[in-house]
Amino acid sequence: MDYFAQQLINGLVLGSIYGLIAIGYTMVYGIVGMINFAHGDIFMIGGFIALITFLVLVSFGLTAIPLILLIVLLVSMAITALYGWTVERIAYRPLRHSFRLAPMLSAIGMSFVLSNFSQVAQGARVKPVPPIITGGYTLHDSAGGFAVQLSNIQIVVVLTTVVLLAIFTWLVARTRLGRDMRACEQDQTMAALLGVDVDRTISMTFVIGSALAAVAGMMYLLYYGLVDFYMGFVAGIKAFTAAVLGGIGSLPGAMLGGLAIGLIETMWSAYFSVEYKDVAAFSILIVVLIFLPTGLLGRPEVEKV
């Protein structure tokens, strides 16, 4: 039981990270109707920028950990958001009205560009960082010797996710930008006719999605203590699985799907085999698409001629 509780905590933390990435996929799919293949690599870039900012700040003699983390968070969100904006501007906008395969292939190309760019720029080796946030609490200590631990970093990850989600939900539900985004999702032409700047709204969608992915990248860095140029691919597919599982286009669904994928992956590793955890995640994607193509919270897609 204790073992299960511990896995539950681990799974929820991992799920928060997947959920943050999944929101980017689901937003872009909802508005532009394409799978942003490069989103996983945006997440990786976010991790790298967080790492570099952290190193530079520490070498400048800054010691207050909360202040460092706040600056790292903001810098990494800002620069990664600019990456997202640039990717959209260069690779997707010229193909907005092209045939359907074109943006997808362009996105695959962009994914190669980003991952190989960071390989060239920062080297192929894994970058380890020492644990930045240490300590934690023992929730339950059983006689059997297994203690349920809740580390501070896990608290930070979950808290950051919750706070960001609150801000993000407010942004979509209450602001002008959010209204524009929802309008573009429903009908781009109509939104444009009513004075919504569609190009700008789509750009902002990419910016917000990338900023959230940057947070996920930083959390990943803090939680696992390493980044490498290849981590975006697998994390990207899993986050996409999460988005599909939650129902693509649905924002709460993306978070729910992220938590589900995180839990499934953790439980699978804990009770079955670590080697096949990715196989489990990908199999879930296939199974979900076959039996539940609209996901948990998605709307059914009407087939039009």
Q: Is 305 exposed, middle or buried (0-12, 13-18, 19+ CB in 10 A)?
A: exposed
Query: Does residue 275 touch other proteins according to CB under 8 A?
Result: yes
For residue 200, the minimal CB distance to other proteins (Å) is 15
d(CA 52, CA 105): 30
For residue 109, the minimal CB distance to other proteins (Å) is 3
Q: Count CA atoms within 13 Å of residue 272 on its CB side.
A: 11
Q: Which stretch binds other proteins (CB under 8 A): 113-121, 144-152, 166-174, 254-262?
A: 113-121
Query: Does residue 302 touch other proteins according to CB under 8 A?
Result: no
144-203: which residues touch other proteins (CB under 8 A)?
none
Q: Which of 305, 304, 5, 19 is nearest to 158 (CA)?
A: 19
Contact call for residues 156 and 68 (beta carbons, < 8 A)? no
For residue 111, the minimal CB distance to other proteins (Å) is 7
CB-nearer residue toward other proteins: 43 or 168: 43
Phi and psi at 168, nearest 5°, equal: -65, -45
Two structure tokens written together for 79 = 């620069």
CB-nearer residue toward other proteins: 30 or 178: 30
Residue from 94, 142, 175, 299 in contact with other proteins (CB under 8 A): 94
Q: How many residues bind other proteins (CB under 8 A)?
A: 70
3-state secondary structure of 139: strand
* Residue found under tokens 């933390």: 13
Residue 208 CA: distances (Å) to CA of 85, 141, 165, 201: 9, 41, 12, 10
Per-position x/- string for 35-74, each x denoting binding to other proteins as judged by CB under 8 A, each - no binding: x---------x--xx-xxx-xx--x---------------
Phi and psi at 30, nearest 5°, equal: -60, -40
* End-to-end Cα separation, the chain, in angstroms: 53
Contact call for residues 165 and 255 (beta carbons, < 8 A)? yes
Q: Which of 20, 15, 17, 21 is nearest to 36 (CA)?
A: 21
For residue 117, the minimal CB distance to other proteins (Å) is 6
CB-nearer residue toward other proteins: 67 or 286: 286
229-248: which residues touch other proteins (CB under 8 A)?
233, 237, 240-241, 244
Q: Which stretch binds other proteins (CB under 8 A): 108-116, 143-151, 176-184, 256-264?
A: 108-116
CB-nearer residue toward other proteins: 64 or 290: 290
Query: Does residue 111 touch other proteins according to CB under 8 A?
Result: yes
d(CA 57, CA 128): 17
Q: Which stretch binds other proteins (CB under 8 A): 112-120, 137-145, 195-203, 216-224?
A: 112-120
Residue 70 CA: distances (Å) to CA of 66, 73, 218: 6, 5, 11
Q: Which residues bind other proteins (CB under 8 A)?
A: 34-35, 45, 48-49, 51-53, 55-56, 59, 75, 79, 82-83, 86, 90-91, 94-95, 98-106, 108-130, 233, 237, 240-241, 244, 275-276, 278-279, 282-283, 285-286, 289-290, 293, 303, 305
